[in-house]
Amino acid sequence: MLAIIRRDLLIAARRKSEVLTALFFFVIVTSLFPLGIGPEPTLLKKIAPGVLWVAALLATMLGLTRMFAPDHADGTLEQMALAPTPFGLLVAGKVVAHWLVSGLPLVLLAPVLGIQFDLDAGALGILVVALLLGTPLLSLVGAIGAALTLGVRGGGVLLSLLVLPLYVPALIFGAGAVEAHISGLGAGGHLSLLAALLALAVFFAPWATTAALRIALE
């Protein structure tokens, strides 16, 4: 599993542009909202959690199509399925690598963008924690969609159609945590639910993903 993570990270490091594109997409999308809505700080502060979260959802979507497709094309995926190591573990490794490449940078970048929206230090902290819990969830659920649409006509668009409805709970609790903190309710409940969803997904998602991949490899 560690070898897979190392390998995927190396591949990502050799093709920096793909990673950076998703990151800049995140930056640009969040910066478009103030331009479209207007620069009043109170309004921006109110919509900030939602905007940052929606942009994060879309940015992680960009990397999903590449999670399995190159390995599928050159036959690596087939070898992984045949390897003595459990396939689920290897898939989990790929998901971790995807998160490190496309989720973690978003978490680190989000507070900088949050400042643009006039969020205070406490809200920024909650935003980072929520994203830290939520982005792995996005990678895990997204992996199922990526595996299902592997080698399918119009896979990219289809992927977003399949995965985005499943992202709704993460969006609600993630953005809700920040909003609850801003309105003084405390973010504990939202964060606990987000962590519970993550625990569920860690258990079930690799399993569903391997099942889907085996179907694609048949």
**Looking at beta carbons only, is 27 or 164 nearer to other proteins?**
164
**Looking at beta carbons only, is 119 or 212 nearer to other proteins?**
212
- Options 42-50, 94-102, 113-121, 172-180: segment touching other proteins (CB under 8 A): 172-180
- Is the C-alpha dihedral spanning 141, 147, 151, 152 positive or negative? negative
Among 10, 161, 185, 199, binds other proteins (CB under 8 A): 161
Chain mean position to CA 213: 19
8 A C-beta contact, residue 113 and residue 30: yes
Instruction: Rule CB under 8 A: say whether 204 interacts with other proteins.
Output: yes
8 A C-beta contact, residue 65 and residue 159: yes
- What is the CB neighbour count within 10 angstroms for residue 116? 15
**Looking at beta carbons only, is 56 or 213 nearer to other proteins?**
213
Instruction: Rule CB under 8 A: say whether 208 interacts with other proteins.
Output: yes
Residue 173 beta carbon to other proteins: minimum distance, rounded to whole angstroms: 6
Among 168, 181, 183, 195, binds other proteins (CB under 8 A): 168
- Options 1-9, 34-42, 92-100, 205-213: segment touching other proteins (CB under 8 A): 205-213
Q: Whole-angstrom distance between the N-terminal and C-terminal Cα of the chain?
A: 23
Instruction: Rule CB under 8 A: say whether 69 interacts with other proteins.
Output: no
Alpha-carbon distance 39 to 35, whole Å? 7
- Options 17-25, 68-76, 83-91, 143-151: segment touching other proteins (CB under 8 A): 143-151
Instruction: Rule CB under 8 A: say whether 211 interacts with other proteins.
Output: yes
What does DSSP assign to residue 103?
I
96-99 long-range Cβ contacts below 8 angstroms, 24+ apart = 96/1, 96/5, 96/139, 97/4, 97/5, 97/7, 97/8, 97/9, 97/12, 98/8, 98/63, 98/64, 98/67, 98/139, 98/142, 98/143, 99/135, 99/136, 99/139
Among 36, 38, 39, 154, binds other proteins (CB under 8 A): 154
Query: What are the residues binding other proteins (CB under 8 A)?
Result: 144, 148-149, 152-155, 158, 161-162, 164-166, 168-169, 172-173, 176, 193, 197, 204, 208, 211-212, 215-216, 218
